[in-house]
Chains A and B, each alone.
Chain A
Amino acid sequence: MRDRVIEAILLGALVVLALVIARSGSAYVAQTLFNAALAILLAIGWNVIGGFTGYVSFGQVSFFGLGAYIAALATMRLALPWPAAIGVAALGAVILALPLGLIMLRLSGIFFALGMFGLARILQISVSAMRATGGPMGMSFDAAEDPHICAAVMLLVAAAALAGTWLMLRSRFGLRLLAIRDDAVAASAAGVHVWSVKVLAFCLSAALAAVGGALYAWNLGYLDPSSAFNGTIELQSVLMVTAGGIGTVWGPLVGGAIVSGLSTFLWARFPMEQQIVLGGLTMLIAVAMPGGVMAALARGGVLRRAPIWAPPPAATAAPAAKATAAPAPTRPRPDRPAPVLRCAGLGIRFGGVVAVDAVDLVAYPGELLAIIGPNGAGKSTLFNLISGFARPATGEIVFDGKRLPRLRPERLARAGIARTFQTSRLFPSLTVWETVLLAALSLHRNRRRARTEAARILAEVGLLAHWREVPEALPPGRQRLLEIARALALQPKVLLLDEAMAGMSAEEIARVHAALRHAMEGGSAVVAIEHVLPAIAPLAARVQVLDFGATIAAGHPHAVLNDPAVITAYLGVEMEGATDAAA
C-alpha cells in the first residue's frame, strides 16, 4: 500500500513539474518535452506487447505511422477537430490490429518480430504509392498553433498511458498478461484464454502507438512516409524499454528519460554519431544488463512490483489449517457414482513411435487412480491427450457424461480438467498468491469470491504464510505444492497430477494428501502419475500400469503390484540374455 502511494505521488509530481515547464519554458523547451513525452508514450505502447506478453516487435512503428496518416487525413478530408481525429486514429489502428493480431500472434519469437518489420515496410511503400497522402513527398496540413499546448497535451496523454499500465498491472488482465509472458502453456492450464489476452494486448499497444502518431502529426503539420515509418522510432522505443526495464510499469519512463535526454544531447553535439551510440547502447544493455535500470532497483528493493491484490485480511490472520491425520485409504465403494472421465482406446504416435497405444482409463468422483510405469511409458503423453495439450489420433474421451469435442486446454481447465506438469511449470515473476489467484479468477468472475477461494486453498496446502514470495524462493517441494494449489483453484472435477509429489518431504506429502482428500470428498476424481509409490499408495483406490504406451495391468493396488508383468516392466528385466552373451 505504501509503495502505491509513493508511486502515485511520484507520478503526480513529475506530471505537474513537466506541465509547469511546458507552459512557462521557451518554444524549444516545450518541443523537447513534447519529443520526450512522445518517445515515452511509444515506449509504453511497445512495452505492452514486447514487455508484458513477450512478443518483441520490430514494427510497432506501423501503428505510429498509420495513426499519423489517419489523423491527418481525418482533419484534412473530413474536417474533424484534432481530438476527434486522434480518436479516429486510435480506432483505425485497433481495427487493423484485430485481424492482424489473429494472424501475427500465431508466429513466435523472431518470426513475429520480423513479420512486424515487414508490415511497416509494406505500409510505408503503400503510403508512398497513394495520391491521397501526397506520395513519397508527403503532405502538409494545419498543425497545432501553440507548441506549449501541444507539449502539455502530449505530457498528459503519456502520463495517462503510464497510469493506465500501472492500473492494468493491478488488474486481472495484467495478471494474465504476466502469466502468459512467463509461460503460456502453464497459463492455459490455469484456464487463461491465452489467445484473446494476447490479441487484446496487441490492440492496446497499437492504439497507444497510433495516438502517439496522431499527436506527432498534430504537432508537426507535415507527414511523409519515410519519417512516419522511420525505423529510428522503433530503435528508440526498444532501447528505452530495455534500458529502463522490460515488462515493468516504470521501465519506459525511466528508460525514456535517460534515452531521450541522451539522444537530444547527441543530436545537438554529435548528430552523425547519434544512432551509432544508441545502437551500441542497445547492444551493451543486451549483453550486460538485460533487466535494465528497474531490475537493478528491484534488487535493491526499490519500486518492486506490488502483488496484485492480496489475500483477504481475515485469511492471513487465521492460523494455517493443520494437516489432518490420515483416515483409512479410499477404496472403491460398491455404491460408487458414474465415472466422471472415461477414455477409450486413446492413442497417438510421434514419428513412427507409438507413444500411447489404445489406452482405456476410467476415473470416478471421489476416487484416486494411480498411474505408474517406467520412464517413457507414455504416462505424461496420456495426460497431454486428456487435458487438450495434444490431440489423440484414435479413441474418445467422455467427460461428465458427454463426449468431449476437441477443446483448447484453457476450455478444459475451466470445464473441470485441471493438471500439473511433470517438470514444474510455475510463473517466475508471479507470487504464490498471484499464481493461485490466476486460476481462481478463471473460475470466478466475482473478485471477492476468487480472493476468498485462493486464500482458502493456499491455507489448505500451508502456503498462505508465503503468499508474497516468488516460486524461485521456495524449496522444490513447496513449488510442487504451489502447482497443485493452482490446479485445485480450478475446483476440478478431474485432477491430473503428474509426479506431483516427487522430491517432497513427508510433511509436504501429508499436506497434499489432506488437500487431495478434501478435494475428493468434494467429488473430485484424481488421476496421479507417480514414480514413488508410497507417496500415493495410501490414497489410491486403483492402480493402472503403463509400459510402452499400453496398459499392462490395472486393478487393486496390492494385486497389481504383485503382478509379474508389472514387476518386469517396472523394476527392469532379468538378464539371462546378457549373461549368456557375456559368458
Chain B
Amino acid sequence: MLTVITLAILGLLWGGVYLLMATGLNLIYGVMKVVNLAHGDFIVLGGLLAFSLFAEAGLNPLAAFPIAALILFGIGAGVQFGLLEPITAAGSEGELRSLLATFGLSYVVANASFLVWGSQFQSVPFLEGAVQAGPIAIPAGLLAASLAAFAATLLIHLWLTTTITGKSLHATAQSALGAASCGIDVRRVRLLAFALGSAMAGGAGALVITLIPFQTSTGGELTVHAFTLIALGGLGNYAGAWLAAELLGLTEVFAQFYLGSNAAAAVIYVVFIAVLVVRPQGLLGQAGRV
C-alpha cells in the first residue's frame, strides 16, 4: 500500500513537469494551429543548455531554468520569423508545409545539439536527497522541479488570462480576423506565442534533465509526450491539460515500477494511439464538416 501511495505521489509530481512541457506546445498549437515537431528537441536543447551552465559555470539548475527559457525564447522567435510566418502568410496547404518545416527543424536542432554535446546521456545532479513525509520518502529534486514547473505554468496561465496582451493571444487563437479587426497585429502575436511556447519547452528541459538523463535523440519521444497531453486534455482547456498531465505522470510511474522502463516507454505510445483512436476528431473537431 505504501508503495502505491509513494508511486501515486511521484506520478502526480511528474505531472507538473509534463504540464509545463505540454503547455508550450498547447499555446503554439492554439494560436497558430501548427504542431511544432521540434518541441521535444527544444526541451532537450533547454536541458543540455542547463547541463552546460552547470558543468561550465556551476550554475544551479533553478538558476539555469530562466536562462535556458530565455535562449529558447530567442530561438523560437527566430524560427517563427524566418520559417513559419512565411508559410502561414502563403496560406493554402499551410498545415502540411508547416509540418514538413518543423519536421526538418527537429532534425536540425537534434543534430546541431549532437555536434555540441555528443551522443552520450547527460544529466545534472540536483538535490539528491529525499524529503521524508511520515513513512513516505519523496525525492527532493523531483519535488523542487515539480513545484517550479507548476509555478511557471501557473504564472503563464495568469498572464494569459488577466493581461490584455495575454488575452490578445487567446483572441487570435479563437479568431485571427476578429483580432486583426481590433487592431491587434496578429503577426506579432504569433511571434510571441511561438517564442513563449519555445521558452516553456526550454525551461521544462532545464528541469527535466535533473530528473532523467538526456541524449540528443530523446527529442522525438518528448514531442509525442507533449502532444499526447494536448490531444488528451483538449485544446485551450487548462484544467484538461492538467488532468492529462497527471494521468500521464501516474501511468508512466506505475508502468515503470511494475513493467520495467522499456515497457513503460511503449505504454506511453499505446496510450497515445488509444487517445487518438478514441478522440479521432482530436482538437480539430473536423468530423462531419461540409
Residues of A within 8 A of B (CB): 54, 56, 58, 103, 106-111, 113-115, 117-119, 121-122, 125-126, 128-129, 185, 231, 235, 238-239, 242, 272-273, 275-276, 278-287, 290, 384, 389-390, 421
Contacts and interface: CB of A to CB of B under 8 A. Distances in A.
Contacts of B111: 272-273, 275-276, 279
A247 to B, nearest CB: 11
A288 to B, nearest CB: 8
A272 B216 CA distance: 13
Interface in B74-111: 83, 86-87, 90, 93, 95-101, 103-108, 110-111
A497 to B, nearest CB: 15
Given A278-B107, A279-B104, A286-B97, A109 B284 contact: yes
Given A118-B224, A287-B86, A290-B97, A235 B107 contact: yes
Nearest to B281: A108
A111 B276 contact: yes
Interface of B: 35, 37, 83, 86-87, 90, 93, 95-101, 103-108, 110-112, 114-115, 220-221, 223-224, 227, 231, 262-263, 265-266, 269-270, 272-273, 276-277, 280, 282, 284, 286, 288, 290
B252 to A, nearest CB: 14
B104 A114 contact: no
16 contacts: A103-B277, A107-B276, A111-B231, A114-B227, A114-B272, A118-B224, A121-B224, A125-B265, A125-B266, A242-B100, A272-B111, A279-B105, A279-B107, A280-B104, A286-B83, A290-B97
Contacts of A126: 266
Nearest to B100: A286
Contacts of A390: 288, 290
B269 A121 contact: yes
Given A106-B277, A384-B290, A287 B83 contact: yes
B40 to A, nearest CB: 11
Nearest to A275: B111
Given A58-B103, A106-B277, A390-B290, A283 B115 contact: no
A225 B262 CA distance: 13
A239 B104 CA distance: 9
A287 B273 contact: no
Contacts of A125: 262-263, 265-266, 269
Contacts of A290: 90, 93, 97
A290 to B, nearest CB: 5
Contacts of B86: 287
Contacts of A110: 35, 95, 99, 227
Given A108-B284, A110-B35, A285 B100 contact: yes
Given A111-B276, A282-B107, A389-B290, 14 more contacts: A110-B227, A113-B99, A114-B223, A114-B224, A118-B273, A121-B221, A235-B103, A242-B100, A276-B115, A279-B108, A282-B101, A286-B83, A286-B97, A287-B87
* Of listed A115, A242, A275, residue having the most chain B CB within 10 A: A115
B269 to A, nearest CB: 4
Contact of A109 (B95, B100, B263, B269): B95
Nearest to A242: B100
Nearest to A239: B104
A107 B280 contact: yes
Nearest to A119: B273
B266 A122 contact: yes
Contacts of B265: 121, 125
Contact of B108 (A114, A115, A276): A276
A111 B107 contact: no
A418 to B, nearest CB: 15
Contacts of A278: 104, 107
Contacts of B115: 272-273, 276
A106 B276 CA distance: 9
A281 B103 CA distance: 11
Contacts of A54: 96
A459 to B, nearest CB: 30
Nearest to B282: A111
A108 B83 contact: no
A276 B107 contact: yes
Nearest to B85: A287
A283 B223 CA distance: 18
A95 to B, nearest CB: 18
A71 to B, nearest CB: 24
Contacts of A284: 104
B103 A118 contact: no
* Of listed A109, A185, A273, residue having the most chain B CB within 10 A: A109
Given A56-B96, A114-B227, A286-B97, A281 B276 contact: no
Contacts of A238: 100, 103
B269 A231 contact: no
Contacts of A287: 83, 86-87, 97, 101
B273 A115 contact: yes
Contacts of A275: 107, 110-111
A103 B273 CA distance: 10
B95 A129 contact: no
A87 B280 CA distance: 33
Contacts of A242: 100
* Of listed A108, A118, A390, residue having the most chain B CB within 10 A: A118
A108 B286 contact: yes
Nearest to B96: A56
Contacts of A111: 231, 276, 280, 282, 284
